[in-house]
């Protein structure tokens, strides 16, 4: 590593950190995934990507499906709200024909790539496929397509994502989410301070930037 590259890496590692807990099947996570990278950079904040499975968390809370499905009036409101929010952020939206859509392989790949430079574009691509293109992001074909479009070694990444150690890590990370008191997605943590929902992303980033120690 050159001196310049080493200095850049050290600077990045020293940035204040925000934990971003999300699930690809979560509609409000879509809004945050699509904008958090640019917003974090603008605030001088480093993202710690924390993919987890929202389904088991809901089951622990006594729900056998998303509250947006179980409660008809809330579901109707949420999709109208999604239309407004997507217009606000300039995002495409096609209500998925399956919701919430299972995306186990895509989540395992995200866990594998959480510290990789391709993480943010990969997550945006998967979210676009789900909420803009209504594609089955639970299928290996679609996940491979997303990785191929990013110029990545799709076959190797998928194989690594499917190994037993990585499967166990995702289960453990999901248990960790429940242990931290997470009850929905997206959720953000700055230290021990929790912020829930896409509408709290800006607050979380500002809190993170202001809470950082000054040299």
What span, in angstroms and rounded, lies between the C-alpha atoms of 156 and 152?
A: 9
If you search the block for the tokens 């590593």, which residue do you land on?
A: 1
Is 139 part of the annotated catalytic residue set?
Answer: no
Q: Which two tokens stand for residue 78?
A: 């949420």
Hey, how many other C-beta atoms are within 10 angstroms of the C-beta on 113? 22
Q: Which position among 26, 29, 32, 66 bears the catalytic label?
A: 26
What span, in angstroms and rounded, lies between the C-alpha atoms of 112 and 69?
A: 30
End-to-end CA distance of the chain: give it in Å, rounded: 26
The kind and range of the H/E element at 143 are helix 140-149
Residue (of 33, 112, 38, 27) closest to 77 by Cα position: 27
Catalytic residue ranges: 26
């Amino acid at each position: 590593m050159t001196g310049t590259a080493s200095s850049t890496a050290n600077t990045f590692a020293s940035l204040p950190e925000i934990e971003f807990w999300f699930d690809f099947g979560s509609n409000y996570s879509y809004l945050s995934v699509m904008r958090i990278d640019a917003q974090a950079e603008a605030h001088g904040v480093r993202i710690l990507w924390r993919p987890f499975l929202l389904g088991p968390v809901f089951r622990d809370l006594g729900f056998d499906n998303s509250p947006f499905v179980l409660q008809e009036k809330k579901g109707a409101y949420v999709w109208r709200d999604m239309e407004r929010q997507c217009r606000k952020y300039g995002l495409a939206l096609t209500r998925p024909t399956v919701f919430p859509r299972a995306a186990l392989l895509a989540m395992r790949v995200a866990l594998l790539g959480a510290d990789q430079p391709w993480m943010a574009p990969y997550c945006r691509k998967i979210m676009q496929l789900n909420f803009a293109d209504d594609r089955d992001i639970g299928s290996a074909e679609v996940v491979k397509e997303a990785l191929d479009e990013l110029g990545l070694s799709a076959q190797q990444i998928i194989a690594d994502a499917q190994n037993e150690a990585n499967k166990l890590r995702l289960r453990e990370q999901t248990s960790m989410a429940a242990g931290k008191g997470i009850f929905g997605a997206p959720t953000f943590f700055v230290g021990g301070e929790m912020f829930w929902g896409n509408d709290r992303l800006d607050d979380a980033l500002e809190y993170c930037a202001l809470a950082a120690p000054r040299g």
